[in-house]
Amino acid sequence: MRSAPTILHLDMDAFFAAAEQAAKPSLRGKPVVVGGLGPRGVVSTASYEARRFGVHSAMPMGQARRLAPNAAYLVPRFSLYRAVSEQVMELLGRLSPLVEPLSLDEAFVDLEAGGTADDTASALAAGERLRRDIRAVTGLSGSVGLAGSKMLAKIGSEQAKPDGLVLIEPGTERALLGPMSVRTLPGVGPATGDHLRRAGMTTVADLAEAGEDELVRLLGKAHGASLYRMALGRDDRAVVSERDAKSVSVEDTFDVDLHDRVRVRTEVDRLADRCVERLRAAGRSGRTVVLKVRRYDFSTLTRSETLRGPTDDPGVVREAAGRLLESVDTTGGVRLLGVGVTGLADFTQEDLFAQAAADESAAAPHAPADEREREPAGAERAAGDGAAESGAAESAGGPAEAPDVPAERRFPAGHDVRHREFGAGWVQGSGLRRVTVRFEEPGSAPGRVRTFWADDPDLELSEPLPLVPAVAGQSSWPASRPKSRSESRSERDAGRSGGSGSGRARP
């Protein structure tokens, strides 16, 4: 525990939704929900306007639509979020060399290690400066907590939301924590909270009064002792700049249970390829391939195979996952599939490439990589000004467009486009071989809506634009880089269920 509040916790406010609102002026001030849009999708982020209707993270998307039927529902665009996150992390790196990212939009910073702050006044100045810099560089807001420990800094940022700063003076921890719910403390989820409630403990003060022995009796030695220390405001965890990942994995939930065994195998191959992409982006290889199958009755089976050595070869991972699939009964239907790699290393076992070639020649042929189904996207319903058209795009169940529309001419709803005459815009809806585009960009006024044929040669998909225009002589958009492990984990959690809506765009 520190005698000065020199540990900073930053949490960007409704990050995914706020980034979409900044990129799409017509959605500013409107309820926006980002997540998987299929029947089994869940909410990743809801704007504060949508939260007023009761929408929150991890809520089933169907329930969110019932609570806020007029909100804009968007699929995640991780290329945009990663670029903005890179800008934010660069600002944090200017404060200290010790930055611990937790996800794309959240991180701890040790201000003392960077010589940025050593007392209350300097820590407060650093926090306020960071918030101003984030607003100037990204156009978004972030909430900051400052304290003498990581736990309290995170609690401070939660209290500061949205767009605020809370500093917790060392020595005031117990008075601050006492009236708070036990769920405030890290490691106390619904089950533990309910267990403590039945024992008569609902606040942090109740835990402190119960004593360590009673908590150990209720929760076990490790958890009970840790919880007692936290109830007293004690947390001596250090800010670490790099945490070693134990595994890399991807998974998808399907709108409709899969019964076709060939389709299941195709999905496993696709997930294996995506898993290897993330593995290579992290500069790692792995030795154990893991297959996860959740069946129609919600029973979940996990199978694993350990290879002769670590690999990052997609053929090896595909074939290993395929062998694991053969041992699983999928006749009743599959609602979720996942492929992961554990036993990570920083090198590759070369002879596994020969193993991959041998396995592929012996195995039955599968669809080549360029013919496999694309990563699922979703649909968006925009809010406001009479332009709320439903869009349809590819889903886990196949393309929503007409089958004769080539893949390169499909426009996922919410994605950026550019027209030769009208300039930059975003796909508000697509279907029936038409594409409805709202022509606007960050910093502009809400734009006009136009509809085109999907094969219009003047209309092309484009990369996201910077949320804040570049200063003369400087680039406001970071160079592309591989995803960090924390970012890959965030992306997996947020985008695991990208289904599609249905509807049509009227010309």
- Tell me, what's the pLDDT at 253? 86
pLDDT band of 467, cuts 50, 70, 90: very high
Q: Is 70 exceeded by the pLDDT of residue 505?
A: no
Decide which of 390 and 104 is more confident.
104
The label of the residue with tokens 């492990």 reads 485
- Tell me, what's the pLDDT at 31? 96
**Angstrom distance (rounded) from CA 356 to CA 347:** 17
Give me the mean pLDDT over the 313-325 stretch: 94
Give me the mean pLDDT over the 189-213 stretch: 93
User: What is the DSSP annotation of 415-441?
Assistant: -EEEETTTEEEEEEEEETTEEEEEE--
- Tell me, what's the pLDDT at 473? 44
- Top-ranked range on mean pLDDT: pick from 8-17, 36-45, 190-199, 482-491: 8-17
- Tell me, what's the pLDDT at 480? 47
- Tell me, what's the pLDDT at 39? 78
Give me the mean pLDDT over the 333-345 stretch: 92
Q: For residue range 35-59, what is the model confidence (pLDDT) as tens digits? A: 887 778 889 999 999 999 999 998 9
Do residues 319 and 304 touch, judged by C-beta distance below 8 A?
A: no
Tokens encoding 394 = 């590819």
Q: Which residues of 416-451 are buried (b: 16+ CB within 10 A; e: fewer)?
A: bbbbeebebbbbbbbbbebbbbbbbbbeeebbebbb
- Tell me, what's the pLDDT at 86? 94
pLDDT band of 405, cuts 50, 70, 90: low
* Contacting residues for 72 by C-beta, under 8 A, at least 6 apart: 20, 27, 30, 31, 32, 33, 380, 381, 382, 383
Which amino acid is residue 69, in one-letter code?
Answer: P
pLDDT band of 331, cuts 50, 70, 90: confident
The label of the residue with tokens 């136009």 reads 450
- Worst-scoring range by mean pLDDT, 40-44, 239-243, 477-481? 477-481
Q: Is 50 exceeded by the pLDDT of residue 379?
A: no
| β-bridge pairing 72-74 and 32-35 | parallel
Q: For residue range 247-266, what is the model confidence (pLDDT) as tens digits? A: 899 998 888 899 999 999 99
- Worst-scoring range by mean pLDDT, 20-34, 86-100, 344-358? 344-358
- Worst-scoring range by mean pLDDT, 7-16, 312-321, 426-435, 472-481? 472-481
Q: For residue range 303-313, what is the model confidence (pLDDT) as tens digits? A: 999 998 899 99
Do residues 323 and 265 touch, judged by C-beta distance below 8 A?
A: no
Do residues 466 and 442 touch, judged by C-beta distance below 8 A?
A: yes
What SS3 class is residue 182? helix
- Worst-scoring range by mean pLDDT, 185-194, 361-370, 482-491? 361-370
Q: Is 60 exceeded by the pLDDT of residue 394?
A: no
Give me the mean pLDDT over the 225-243 stretch: 89
Do residues 505 and 382 touch, judged by C-beta distance below 8 A?
A: no
**Angstrom distance (rounded) from CA 322 to CA 308:** 17
- Tell me, what's the pLDDT at 479? 55
Q: Is 80 exceeded by the pLDDT of residue 196?
A: yes
Tokens encoding 340 = 């992961």
**Angstrom distance (rounded) from CA 236 to CA 258:** 48
Give me the mean pLDDT over the 491-502 stretch: 43
Q: Which of 20, 106, 440, 491 is catalytic?
A: 106
- Tell me, what's the pLDDT at 326? 93
pLDDT band of 476, cuts 50, 70, 90: low
The closest alpha carbon to 374, from 349, 393, 402, 354, belongs to 393
Beta bridge mates, 46 = 33
pLDDT band of 358, cuts 50, 70, 90: very low
Residue 259 φ/ψ region, left for φ over 0, alpha for ψ in the -120 to 50 degree band, beta for the rest: alpha
pLDDT band of 413, cuts 50, 70, 90: confident
Long-range contacts of 66-72 (CB under 8 A, 24+ apart): 68/31, 68/33, 70/31, 70/383, 70/388, 71/30, 71/31, 71/32, 71/33, 71/381, 71/383, 72/20, 72/27, 72/30, 72/31, 72/32, 72/33, 72/380, 72/381, 72/382, 72/383
Q: For residue range 59-79, what is the model confidence (pLDDT) as tens digits? A: 999 999 999 999 998 888 888
pLDDT band of 177, cuts 50, 70, 90: very high
**Angstrom distance (rounded) from CA 121 to CA 123:** 5
Q: Which residues of 43-53 are buried (b: 16+ CB within 10 A; e: fewer)?
A: bbbbbbbbbeb
Q: Is 50 exceeded by the pLDDT of residue 395?
A: no
- Tell me, what's the pLDDT at 254? 87
pLDDT band of 117, cuts 50, 70, 90: very high
Q: Is 50 exceeded by the pLDDT of residue 275?
A: yes
- Worst-scoring range by mean pLDDT, 181-190, 371-380, 469-478? 371-380
Do residues 393 and 410 touch, judged by C-beta distance below 8 A?
A: yes
- Tell me, what's the pLDDT at 482? 43
The whole-chain average pLDDT of the chain stands at 82
User: What is the DSSP annotation of 233-276?
Assistant: T---PPP-S----SEEEEEEEEEEEE--HHHHHHHHHHHHHHHH
Our answer to whether residue 209 is catalytic in this structure is no
Do residues 35 and 41 touch, judged by C-beta distance below 8 A?
A: yes
Of all residues in the chain, the percent with pLDDT exceeding 70 is 80
Q: Is 70 exceeded by the pLDDT of residue 364?
A: no
**Angstrom distance (rounded) from CA 138 to CA 476:** 9
Q: For residue range 128-153, what is the model confidence (pLDDT) as tens digits? A: 999 999 999 999 999 999 999 999 99
